[in-house]
């Protein structure tokens, strides 16, 4: 049965970078006989301009029906003055919650060709390839009760609740173990089990799950140590699994190790492996419309989409190899440009990836 892909270009540089990823997807669709069908819809500011809301019913309905979604980015100064509920970002959050995308996968890959872009020494980060699996719909960001209350002595107290049910831990754990199985079979679960009971349970469930994945080596690390190890010796990690808040912080830390936000893809998956794939960066309004944005994070997001939602591993690898090849050829968009390389536009970078395929 053919699988369907929904393209949501969004705002700013979104349409420019999604256009390049779309060409790449058409190419592998043909080359590997994947039988993918494509559709597109409006989200974010583009949808607000069209119909007044950031996530129109038609877009949500198409998203529900699709096997996978490729999103550019949303937002920009044009819509910043709107009230919270009508901001472009609500389109993104609405998609995440409506599709129950609980698992966020963020690889931090440093292509050896770009080692000088990192703030760490090249030998510490060259060849870095970590996958952070972050729980996205639970934990302290969503736990009840929450708020600011007044105590009897008149002082105000802010409070949030860090909660995870056993089933929430189990389902994110499974995604992480399976990701580790597809990689180097090492999984590090990050918690704060020396202080927080909720993460004592987290650790217990991870240990329990490990029995079902005997080929994966499970280890545990406290979050403060993990933050330190990520900058000290990041290559010790293969897959990291952690809760919403710790994952929020550690995935940004890991992303920065690579030095180039224009290179990083991400995936958010639900229980049916339906997923939304997007670059880690935003809509870059400062460079939108200039044809200089780096399309590689979006192209690599398309590769992740083929791997995790469309069961097309061979096509995913072909795209990743093509990206590596264009970097070997010395082609660089402005954000990753350094001396001795050839500066190319968004379009030229896309064309080079196509040629490498
Ligand atoms: P940003 O990621 O858009 O831009 C940060 C800097 O990185 C800018 O200088 C930009 O030019 C550069 N940059 C980003 N992507 C690039 C690419 N592919 N190639 C070359 N350079 C690139 O973050 P920001 O400036 O904080 O946010 C801009 C808008 O994007 C805001 O409206 C924000 O809300 C939105 N945003 C959206 C998402 C999303 O859609 N997932 C994520 C983050 C921010």
Measure 301 CA to ligand 1 centroid, in angstroms: 16
Q: Is 263 in the pocket of ligand 1 (CB under 6 A)?
A: no
Which fold is adopted by the domain 1-102+276-357?
Isopropylmalate Dehydrogenase (3.40.718)
List, as residue ranges, the binding site for Mg(2+).
224, 248, 252
Q: Annotated catalytic residue: which of 3, 185, 252, 273?
A: 252
Handedness of CA 178, 36, 137, 10 (dihedral sign): positive
Give the integer Cα–Cα distance in Å for 179 and 188: 12
Q: What is the pLDDT of residue 338?
A: 85
Give the integer Cα–Cα distance in Å for 289 and 112: 30
Q: Is 65 in the pocket of ligand 1 (CB under 6 A)?
A: no
Give the integer Cα–Cα distance in Å for 278 and 305: 9
Render the burial of 271-300: b for 16+ CB within 10 Å, e for the rest. eeebbbbbbbbbbbbebbeeebbbbbbbbb
CA neighbours closer than 13 Å in the CB half-sphere of residue 231: 12
Q: Tell me the mean pLDDT in the region 243-264.
A: 89
List, as residue ranges, the binding site for NAD(+).
76-89, 282-294
pLDDT tens, residue by residue, 45-88? 999 999 999 999 999 999 999 999 999 999 999 999 998 889 99
Q: Annotated catalytic residue: which of 67, 192, 213, 335?
A: 192
- What is the position in ligand 1's atom list of the atom closest to the CA of 293? 19
Nearest to 202 by CA among 239, 242, 160, 175: 242
Nearest to 69 by CA among 309, 268, 276: 276
pLDDT tens, residue by residue, 156-212? 999 999 999 999 999 999 999 999 998 999 999 999 999 999 999 999 999 999 999
Q: Are 51 and 258 spatial neighbours (Cβ–Cβ below 8 Å)?
A: no
Give the integer Cα–Cα distance in Å for 239 and 252: 15
pLDDT confidence bin for 139, thresholds 50/70/90:
very high
- What is the position in ligand 1's atom list of the atom closest to the CA of 72? 40
Residues with Cβ within 8 Å of 191's Cβ and at least 6 positions away in sequence, in order, are: 199, 200, 202, 203, 220, 221, 222, 223, 242, 243, 246
Residue 23 annotated as catalytic? no
Closest C-alpha to ligand 1, atom 37: 282
Measure 94 CA to ligand 1 centroid, in angstroms: 19
Percent of the chain clearing pLDDT 90 (strictly above): 85
Q: Do domains 1-102+276-357 and 129-257 have the same CATH topology?
A: yes
Nearest to 130 by CA among 218, 276, 234: 234
Q: Is 353 in the pocket of ligand 1 (CB under 6 A)?
A: no
Q: Which residue has the higher pLDDT, 51 or 255?
A: 51
State which of 283, 287, 296 you would mutate to test the pocket of ligand 1, scoring each by most atoms of that ligand within 8 A of its C-beta: 283
Backbone angles phi, psi at 125, to 5 degrees: -115, -15
Measure 283 CA to ligand 1 centroid, in angstroms: 4
pLDDT confidence bin for 33, thresholds 50/70/90:
very high
Residue 49 annotated as catalytic? no
pLDDT tens, residue by residue, 95-127? 998 999 999 999 999 988 888 778 899 889 988
Closest C-alpha to ligand 1, atom 42: 282
Measure 145 CA to ligand 1 centroid, in angstroms: 33
Q: What is the DSSP string of 187-229?
A: EEEEE-TTT-HHHHHHHHHHHHHHTT-TTSEEEEEEHHHHHHH
Give the integer Cα–Cα distance in Å for 23 and 350: 8
- What residue ranges do the domains of the chain occupy? 1-102+276-357, 129-257
Q: What is the DSSP string of 54-120?
A: SS-HHHHHHHHH-SEEEEEE---GGGTTS-GGGSTHHHHHHHHHHTT--EEEEEEE--GGGGGGSSS
With tokens 């968004």, the residue in question is: 346
Q: What is the pLDDT of residue 193?
A: 97
Length of the chain: 357
pTM of the model: 0.90
Which CATH number does 129-257 carry?
3.40.718.10
Q: 241 to each of 196, 259, 331, 354, how far by Cα in Å?
A: 17, 22, 34, 34
Q: Tell me the mean pLDDT in the region 294-316.
A: 96
Q: Is 252 in the pocket of ligand 1 (CB under 6 A)?
A: no
Closest C-alpha to ligand 1, atom 43: 282
């Amino acid at each position: 049965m053919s699988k369907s892909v929904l393209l949501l270009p969004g705002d700013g540089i979104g349409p420019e970078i999604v256009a390049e990823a779309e060409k790449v997807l058409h190419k592998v669709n043909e080359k590997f006989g994947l039988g993918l069908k494509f559709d597109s819809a409006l989200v974010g500011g583009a949808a607000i301009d069209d119909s007044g809301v950031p996530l129109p019913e038609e877009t949500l309905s198409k998203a529900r029906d699709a096997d996978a979604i490729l999103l550019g980015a949303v937002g920009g100064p044009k819509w910043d003055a709107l009230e919270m509920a009508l901001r472009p970002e609500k389109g993104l959050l609405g998609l995440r919650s409506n599709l129950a995308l609980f698992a966020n996968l963020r690889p931090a890959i440093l292509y050896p060709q770009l080692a000088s872009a990192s703030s760490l020494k090249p030998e510490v980060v060259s060849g870095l390839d970590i996958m952070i699996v972050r729980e996205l719909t639970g934990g302290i960001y969503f736990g009840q009760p929450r708020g600011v209350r007044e105590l009897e002595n008149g002082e105000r107290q802010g409070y949030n609740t860090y909660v995870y049910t056993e089933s929430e831990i189990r389902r994110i754990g499974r995604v992480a173990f399976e990701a580790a199985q597809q990689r180097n079979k090492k999984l590090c679960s990050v918690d704060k089990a020396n202080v927080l009971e909720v993460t004592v349970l987290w650790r217990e469930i991870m240990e329990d799950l490990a029995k079902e994945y005997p080929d994966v080596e499970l280890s545990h690390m406290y979050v403060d140590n993990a933050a330190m190890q990520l900058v000290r010796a990041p290559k010790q990690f293969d897959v990291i699994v952690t809760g919403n808040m710790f994952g929020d912080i550690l995935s940004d830390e890991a992303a920065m190790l690579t030095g180039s936000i224009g290179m990083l893809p991400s995936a958010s998956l639900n229980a049916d492996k339906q997923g939304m794939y997007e670059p880690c960066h935003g809509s870059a309004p400062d460079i939108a419309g200039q044809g200089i944005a780096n399309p590689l994070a979006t192209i690599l997001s398309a590769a992740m989409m083929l791997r995790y939602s469309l069961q097309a591993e061979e096509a995913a690898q072909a795209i990743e190899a093509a990206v590596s090849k264009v970097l070997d050829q010395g082609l660089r968009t402005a954000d990753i440009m350094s001396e001795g390389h050839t500066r190319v536009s968004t379009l030229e970078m896309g064309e080079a990836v196509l040629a490498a395929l």
